[in-house]
């Protein structure tokens, strides 16, 4: 998919993507030159959209994401933003962020003026004329598979701390050897998959919480 052109797929019915599906490939202009999704293979990626440049909620997100960029990098995770605004609007906006907040935006912001990418990802309804309700985040693994999705309304900003926590949790649970409990952070205890059979679970001396086993996180 080339966002600088008008492929026939843009006229096809779109639907929201699902966890476990392969993230649609695309190539598009960005504030750091042409980018393609497959250039991020081999590392984790947080691909997120925002409704519009020069908006207060989006600005708060970009300032915080920029300040936290090194923490994502430490997790081996890249950041990639997107909106339907033009490349020139993106450049003007990040300049005001630098001048107004003393923050340089270190990650690319993709131009999606034709809404081709937004529609391919199901971020934008086929009948929509603009992306005013679009605030979606896709957590994509090194093989290009979507591992988590988060959607927020226009008026509510995302939590960058939660984005970081989720990336770390997805990475820790990727092997399938353990799971992360509520609110897990690196170093906290993990959950083990239940290994008892039903007869074992029904034995008189079996623990009532036979399905709930924890283990220490060896990665610290």
Q: Could you tell me the pLDDT band of residue 169, with boundaries at 50, 70 and 90?
A: very high
pLDDT at 20 over 70: yes
Given a cut of 90, is residue 195 above it in pLDDT?
A: no
Q: Is a pLDDT exceeding 80 seen at residue 101? A: yes
- Pair 145, 193 in one domain: no
Same domain for 185 and 155, yes or no, is no
Mean pLDDT of the chain: 88
Quote the pTM value: 0.88
Question: Do residue 37 and residue 70 come from a single domain?
Answer: yes
If you average pLDDT over residues 63-88, what whole number do you get? 96
Could you give the CA distance from residue 170 to residue 143 in angstroms, rounded to a whole number? 13
Report pLDDT for 131: 58
Q: Is residue 194 part of a domain?
A: yes
Tell me if 166 is assigned to some domain. Answer: no
Q: Both 43 and 149 in a single domain?
A: yes
What confidence tens digit (pLDDT) does each residue in 47-63 have?
999 989 999 999 999 99
Lowest-confidence region among 86-95, 200-209, 210-219: 200-209
Q: How many domains does the chain have?
A: 2
User: Both 125 and 197 in a single domain?
Assistant: no
- According to the model, what pLDDT value does residue 8 have? 34
Does a structural domain hold residue 40?
Answer: yes
Q: How far apart are CA 78 and CA 108, in angstroms?
A: 10
Domain range for residue 107? 8-159
Read off the CATH number of the domain in which 113 is found: 3.40.30.10
In the chain, which ranges are continuous DSSP H helix? 56-67, 69-74, 87-101, 116-120, 160-173, 198-201
Same domain? For 150 and 59 the reply is: yes
Same domain, 138 and 179: no
- pLDDT at position 114 over 60: yes
Contact indicator for 20, 146 with CB cutoff of 8 Å? yes
Residue 168, pLDDT score? 97
Q: Which of 141, 183, 186 is closest to 162 using CA atoms?
A: 183
Both 139 and 180 in one domain: the answer is no
Q: Which of 19-28, 65-74, 81-90, 131-140 has the lowest mean pLDDT?
A: 131-140
User: How do beta strands 109-111 and 77-83 pair?
Assistant: parallel
Within a domain: residue 167?
no
Question: 171 with 141: CB under 8 angstroms?
Answer: no
pLDDT of amino acid 99: 97
Distance CA(5)–CA(8), nearest Å, equals 10
DSSP state of 22: B
Residues 130 and 179 in one domain: no
Mean of the pLDDT values across residues 132-138?
80
Is residue 207 assigned to a domain?
Answer: yes
77 labelled catalytic: no
- The confidence score (pLDDT) of residue 6 equals 38
| Mean pLDDT to the nearest integer, 130-159 | 90
Return the residue matching tokens 């992360």. Answer: 180
Nearest to 133 by CA among 49, 64, 56: 49
145 and 186, same domain (yes or no): no
Both tokens of 176, joined, read: 């399938």
Distance between CA 61 and CA 64 in Å, rounded? Answer: 5
182 pLDDT more than 70: yes
Which pLDDT does position 39 carry in this prediction?
97
DSSP output for 25-83: P-EE-BBTB-EEGGGGTTSEEEEEE-S-TT-HHHHHHHHHHHHTHHHHHHTTEEEEEEE
Cα separation, 167 vs 215, in Å, equals 20
| Catalytic choice (10, 28, 45, 58) | 58
Q: Is the predicted pLDDT of residue 26 greater than 90, yes or no?
A: yes
- Provide the 8-state DSSP code for 145: B
């Amino acid at each position: 998919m080339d966002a600088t052109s008008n492929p026939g797929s843009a006229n096809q019915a779109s639907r929201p993507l699902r966890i476990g599906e392969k993230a649609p490939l695309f190539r598009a202009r960005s504030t750091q030159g042409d980018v393609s999704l497959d250039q991020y293979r081999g590392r984790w990626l947080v691909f997120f959209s925002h409704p519009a440049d020069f908006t207060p909620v989006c600005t708060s997100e970009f300032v915080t994401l920029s300040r936290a960029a090194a923490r994502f990098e430490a997790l081996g995770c890249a950041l990639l933003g997107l909106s339907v605004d033009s490349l020139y609007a993106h450049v003007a906006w990040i300049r005001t962020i630098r001048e107004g907040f003393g923050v340089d935006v270190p990650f690319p912001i993709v131009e999606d003026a034709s809404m081709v990418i937004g529609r391919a990802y199901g971020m934008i309804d086929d009948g929509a004329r603009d992306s005013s309700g679009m605030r979606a985040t896709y957590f994509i693994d090194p093989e290009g598979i979507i591992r988590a999705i988060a959607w927020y309304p226009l008026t509510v900003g995302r939590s960058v701390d939660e984005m970081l926590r989720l990336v770390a949790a997805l990475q820790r649970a990727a092997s399938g050897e353990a799971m992360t409990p509520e609110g897990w952070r690196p170093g906290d205890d993990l959950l083990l998959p239940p290994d008892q059979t039903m007869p074992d679970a029904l034995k008189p001396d079996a623990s009532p919480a036979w399905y709930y086993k924890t283990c220490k996180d060896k990665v610290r």
